[in-house]
């Protein structure tokens, strides 16, 4: 009899271990969005003209550590206190999103400092990993816009909180 129980236990253990891990399925729905909690969201980013600039709906939720400014700080503030399953539309002014459009962020640099295959409209990446758009090219000069692509635009986020979970301790 003990062997039969051990076999059943071992079979159940193997089945459980072979199931896929669903990270948000067992989230505590009573937790509210607050600092140092892991928040998973589904979102759609809409521009003033009504166009969708970005969305993860139907894909993988965006997970971030709340209070660490891993997302726009104004969006973090708006989501604070929400719970899993709740939805909210958040409007953020340009100044609180990616900033107002700054004409002084357009600079002329020597043409040989950008890739040879770059052309007007190309998006380059700075050494800090930020986007920069090529506006004009001549034989000697490249006119580059270092503003964020969404600078100067008011943004609307449609957000659903998928889960609110405690952060896992770091493994060393």
Over the stretch 85-107, which tens digit does the pLDDT of each residue have?
A: 999 999 999 999 999 999 999 99
- Tell which wins on pLDDT, 126 or 76: 76
Domain 25-98+151-166, classified CATH 3.40.50.720, yes or no: no
Q: Has residue 10 got a pLDDT over 90? A: no
pLDDT above 90 as % of the chain: 76
Beta strands in the chain (DSSP E): 37-47, 52-55, 62-65, 87-92, 106-110, 123-125, 131-137, 141-145, 155-166
Residue 20 has pLDDT above 80, yes or no: no
What is d(CA 82, CA 80) in angstroms, rounded to the nearest whole number? 6
CA-based nearest residue to 82, from 66, 96, 98:
66
Which ranges of the chain does DSSP label H, i.e. alpha helix?
A: 2-18, 73-79
**Could you tell me which residues come within 8 angstroms of residue 31 by beta carbon, excluding any fewer than 6 positions away?**
37, 83, 84, 164, 165, 166
Instruction: Kindly report the average pLDDT of the chain as a whole number.
Output: 86
Specify the pLDDT at position 168. Answer: 81
Tens digit of each residue's pLDDT (9 = 90 or more) over 22-69: 444 455 568 999 999 999 999 999 999 999 999 999 999 999 999 999
**Residue ranges of domains in the chain:** 25-98+151-166, 103-145
pTM: 0.74
CA distance 66 to 62: 12
pLDDT over 60 at 18, yes or no = no
Read off the pLDDT band of 16 (50, 70, 90).
very low
């Amino acid at each position: 009899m003990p062997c039969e129980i051990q076999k059943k236990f071992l079979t159940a253990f193997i089945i459980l271990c072979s199931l896929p891990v669903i990270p948000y399925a067992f989230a505590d729905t009573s937790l509210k969005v607050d600092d140092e909690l892991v928040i998973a969201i589904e979102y759609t980013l809409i521009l003033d003209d009504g166009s969708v600039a970005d969305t993860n709906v139907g894909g993988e939720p965006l997970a971030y550590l709340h209070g660490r400014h891993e997302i726009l700080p104004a969006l973090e503030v708006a989501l604070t206190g929400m719970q899993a399953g709740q939805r909210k539309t958040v409007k953020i002014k340009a100044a609180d999103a990616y900033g107002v459009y700054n004409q002084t962020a357009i600079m002329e640099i020597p043409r040989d400092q950008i890739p040879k295959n770059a052309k007007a409209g190309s998006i380059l990446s700075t050494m800090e990993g930020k986007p920069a758009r090529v506006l004009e090219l001549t034989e000697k000069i490249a006119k580059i816009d270092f503003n964020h692509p969404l600078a100067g635009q008011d943004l609307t986020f449609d957000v659903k909180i998928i889960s609110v979970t405690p952060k896992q301790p770091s493994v060393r």
